[in-house]
Structure 1
Amino acid sequence: MTTTLASNRIHRFDNLKGLAIILVVIGHLIYLKNTKEINLIRNFIYIIHLPVFFFVSGYFSKIEEGQPIKSFKRLMIPFILFCIIYWLFQKYVLLGNPKTLFIYPGYGLWFLISLFFMKMLLPIMDKLRYPVLTSFIIAICIGFINCNFLGISRTFVYLPIFLIGFYYNGYVEEFSQRFKSIYSILSNKKVILILAALAFFAVLFTANNYTINLICLKYSYHGFDLYEIVSRVIVITLGIISTLILNQLMTNKEIFLTKYGQNSMSVYIFHLFLIKIILDILRPYYPLHQTITIISVFGISFIIVHILSRDIVTAFLNKIVDKIFNLFFKS
């Protein structure tokens, strides 16, 4: 990719991550209340927010010398550090009963180790003849194995969209050359909007009819359950389609989402503590009216993202990670 192309596209991916991190915070905070309408919003969000993150992560991933240690620094050190902090936080602040340290990552921290595993698998998957198709088959078959630890199940479930992000430019170029007429039609703004509308209603229908256990793609099947298998295929496919459409619709301009996306890692890590406090302490006193709940959830989520996406927060996180890294690794 040329420098010009990268500079033209960078805001698009920052904006995608910015949108995704807002949806993540809303999706976690919306557990304040349990009604059919609120659960519909939550399910809708859960179908699309993580695929966007993994797509963008795949897009910027590389296969080159030095990448494993960089990934370890950016992902595993925060994972180890904040697993410990979250375990202590849950046990001594929230007075809860945390699960086994590291094996069952604290609330939301599975994302870090899953992304690390994907980056480590990338050189292997790249050697396959059909990496995306193979990963999709694995994503469906992993449901037969009970591996809900270390983020392993969702590592393989979201691996296809990560690989699509990694190969995105090459796939688009090849498709545009082999199917020029179809590519021309799909590139039309009106066609994209029509596809976006169809995808929206498909995701809405799925969110309304599937339980959160099916949508979060975390749990294994109950035996050879055809309904659960087909459900997983649908949820993964909708996540991929929605992400690709959002990528086409997202602007390259620098907007309010850009800063949120650039500093999404600090938002993701630190919001877990804020959300847990709100959920465990404030839930009993939360307004009963559903509309007030929805409005306040969206408002509080934007405030949390805005505060935690400040450069000073990201600088603080990077400083901690750098100090820990320098203690154990050569410069």
Structure 2
Amino acid sequence: MENKVSIEAPNLLTAKQRSFIFDNLRGLAIWCIPISHFTRVGGEFLHDSLGGVVYITINVFVMQLFMFLSGYFSKKVDRARESAFKTFMLPYLTFTLIFYIFRYCYFGHANLDFLKPPFALWFLFAVFFYRYYLKDLVKIKHLLSISIGIYLITGLLPMDTDYLALGRTVSYFPFFLMGYYCTSEKLKSLQCLKKWQCIPLLLLLIGVSYGLAYYVKVPVAFYLLKTTAADIGIAWYTDIVMRAIVLILAAAWTILLLNLIPDKKNYLTYIGMNTMPIYIFHLFIRYIVKDYGFPSPNWTVYYLWVFGAASLCVVIFSSPPIAKVYDKTLEKLYDGWLVLKKRMIDEQTK
């Protein structure tokens, strides 16, 4: 997988040593992302509904889990820096341009600004930043504690949260660091729950999501951690408290999934090894779903469409033909970048 552009860092384990739990976790997480997006834009979304419970449940842990895994596989900081451009910045630049062309053709207008990551591409930009500067950042004492402190007050800072994806880049950094500082021994110690012990925790977490959806009227935009308290119209202290709650929920969901997800090769493993095409290409479908919505004669049919369409995106966009084309295209672009870079260096040394 080292030569494969993925939503995750290149694998640090050989095939013989490979632990499939990480691929399975990625597989589950990437499956959740189109479910989350289609739930929100499918046409029948209400905060206090099943859709609200699903949306909140996913968004209190899914990107946090991706960040945790990204950090966990970034322990070799020199290698993390070397691979940051190929794995994250190159896809970001490529698909920012492609999405601009798509939006222009689809809507008749669009803005191109590489300093304001469009929609879900913020993830690529943020992880590039983390991995490229990790070697320098880890020299700061108490970095994790500092990052958590900043995370809690990010919603109060007067800033353009879209510029450089600052809102999310700052907010998700602690979860990346948690993965970076988590050792294999610590990870094993977290996997201490029996399957039957996971059931109460699972019910509790779902119950919390139910409570947040039906009784805590914080706009769902908050759960994306991308904007300020003032922008979404909540009190500063509410923002801090809710960020603390999300931090706890993300940690609890991560621990739960580490105990529930099997360490065996299965279909989730395959999905987890081909996350990037799913992450990128389902966004085109999201635009269409947002415009046309899903049929909704009743809630059963509606949610069958939501989960069915999301699952179809996962199956199709992770299929060998699409995954192979994606990987080959990014490889060609990277090879072209290396040639261009060499020419520029040669010109400077003449």
Q: Normalising by structure 2, what TM-score? A: 0.82
Partner of 2:52: 39
Q: Say whether the 8 Å CA contact 2:23–2:270 is kept in structure 1.
A: yes
Q: CA deviation at 1:230?
A: 1.0
Deviates more, 1:56-65 or 1:189-198: 189-198
Select 1:256's aligned residue among 267, 277, 282.
267
Q: Say whether the 8 Å CA contact 1:143–1:221 is kept in structure 2.
A: yes
Q: CA deviation at 1:116?
A: 1.0
Partner of 1:291: 300
Q: CA deviation at 1:244?
A: 2.2
Select 1:220's aligned residue among 219, 228, 253.
228
Between the aligned partners of 1:6 and 1:101, the Cα distance in structure 2 is: 43
| Equivalent residues, number | 319
**Cα deviation digits, residues 256-282 of structure 1 (max 9, x gap):** 2111111001110111112212222x2
Partner of 1:180: none
Select 1:92's aligned residue among 101, 105, 112.
105
**Cα deviation digits, residues 163-209 of structure 1 (max 9, x gap):** 11122226717x96xxxxxx79x544444443333233223323442
**Cα deviation digits, residues 131-162 of structure 1 (max 9, x gap):** 32221112122222222222221112111111
Between the aligned partners of 1:5 and 1:199, the Cα distance in structure 2 is: 34
**Cα deviation digits, residues 68-100 of structure 1 (max 9, x gap):** 2311011111101110110111111233x4344
Partner of 2:203: 197
Question: Is the alpha carbon distance of 1:220 and 1:317 closer, same or farther for their aligned partners in structure 2, counting shifts above 3 Å?
Answer: same
SS at 1:127's partner residue? coil
Structure 1: which 4+ aligned runs deviate by more than 6 Å? none
Between the aligned partners of 2:162 and 2:173, the Cα distance in structure 1 is: 16
Q: CA deviation at 1:235?
A: 1.4
Do structure 1's residue 78 and structure 2's residue 91 form an aligned pair? yes
Letter of the 2:36 counterpart:
G
Structure 2 spans left out of the alignment, 5+ residues: 1-10, 343-350
Letter of the 2:85 counterpart:
F
Q: Normalising by structure 1, what TM-score? A: 0.87
Partner of 2:276: 265
Partner of 1:157: 171
Partner of 1:304: 313
Q: Say whether the 8 Å CA contact 1:84–1:101 is kept in structure 2.
A: no
Between the aligned partners of 1:239 and 1:143, the Cα distance in structure 2 is: 18
Q: Say whether the 8 Å CA contact 1:8–1:252 is kept in structure 2.
A: no
Percent identity of equivalent pairs: 28
Q: Say whether the 8 Å CA contact 1:44–1:207 is kept in structure 2.
A: no
Q: Say whether the 8 Å CA contact 2:156–2:236 is kept in structure 1.
A: no
Question: Is the alpha carbon distance of 1:123 and 1:193 closer, same or farther for their aligned partners in structure 2, counting shifts above 3 Å?
Answer: farther
Q: Say whether the 8 Å CA contact 2:117–2:162 is kept in structure 1.
A: no
Partner of 1:20: 29
Partner of 2:4: none
SS at 1:317's partner residue? helix
Partner of 2:128: 116
Q: Say whether the 8 Å CA contact 2:12–2:73 is kept in structure 1.
A: no
CA RMSD, 1 decimal: 2.7
Letter of the 1:119 counterpart:
R
Equivalent runs, 1:48-59 vs 2, <5 Å: 48-59=61-72
Question: Is the alpha carbon distance of 1:66 and 1:51 closer, same or farther for their aligned partners in structure 2, counting shifts above 3 Å?
Answer: closer
Q: Say whether the 8 Å CA contact 2:53–2:209 is kept in structure 1.
A: no
Question: Is the alpha carbon distance of 1:306 and 1:291 closer, same or farther for their aligned partners in structure 2, counting shifts above 3 Å?
Answer: same
Letter of the 2:103 counterpart:
Q
Between the aligned partners of 1:137 and 1:122, the Cα distance in structure 2 is: 18
Q: CA deviation at 1:328?
A: 2.3
Question: Is the alpha carbon distance of 1:17 and 1:170 closer, same or farther for their aligned partners in structure 2, counting shifts above 3 Å?
Answer: closer
Q: Say whether the 8 Å CA contact 1:266–1:308 is kept in structure 2.
A: yes
Question: Is the alpha carbon distance of 1:40 and 1:196 closer, same or farther for their aligned partners in structure 2, counting shifts above 3 Å?
Answer: closer
Structure ranking higher in helix proportion: 1
Do structure 1's residue 172 and structure 2's residue 183 form an aligned pair? no
Equivalent runs, 1:227-238 vs 2, <5 Å: 227-238=238-249
Between the aligned partners of 1:323 and 1:5, the Cα distance in structure 2 is: 25
Between the aligned partners of 1:329 and 1:5, the Cα distance in structure 2 is: 28
